[in-house]
Amino acid sequence: MKYPKTIRRYCPYCRAHTVHNVTIYKKGKERMLNHGRRRLERKKKGYGSFPKEIFHKNAKINKKTVPVLECTECNKKHYAKSYRVKKIELQEV
């Protein structure tokens, strides 16, 4: 899917239509001391295999990609509608 790098959209912070720069959302690096990681490590400790069964019958082959819109006026970021596509390509219009 082709998506523009700059797009004119409504900014909820400025309350007006402004030009936005578009990037794709990326997950940040997980901290090793957060609660979910500590819980999983505690559950795996002293156990022969993975604590939960690994689901193999996956129906969906694509993850949803979320475009992040950054307003050029106020530099605030908000999300656009997410798409379930194999590849998203940002291009100049």
**pTM for this one?**
0.76
Beta-strand ranges (E) seen in the chain are 2-4, 6-11, 16-24, 64-65, 67-71, 77-79, 83-84, 89-91
pLDDT exceeds 70 at position 1 = yes
User: How does residue 47 score in pLDDT terms, banded at 50, 70 and 90?
Assistant: low
Domains along the sequence of the chain with CATH: 2-47+60-91 (3.10.450.80)
In sequence order, which residues have a C-beta less than 8 Å from that of residue 50 and are 6 or more positions away? 44
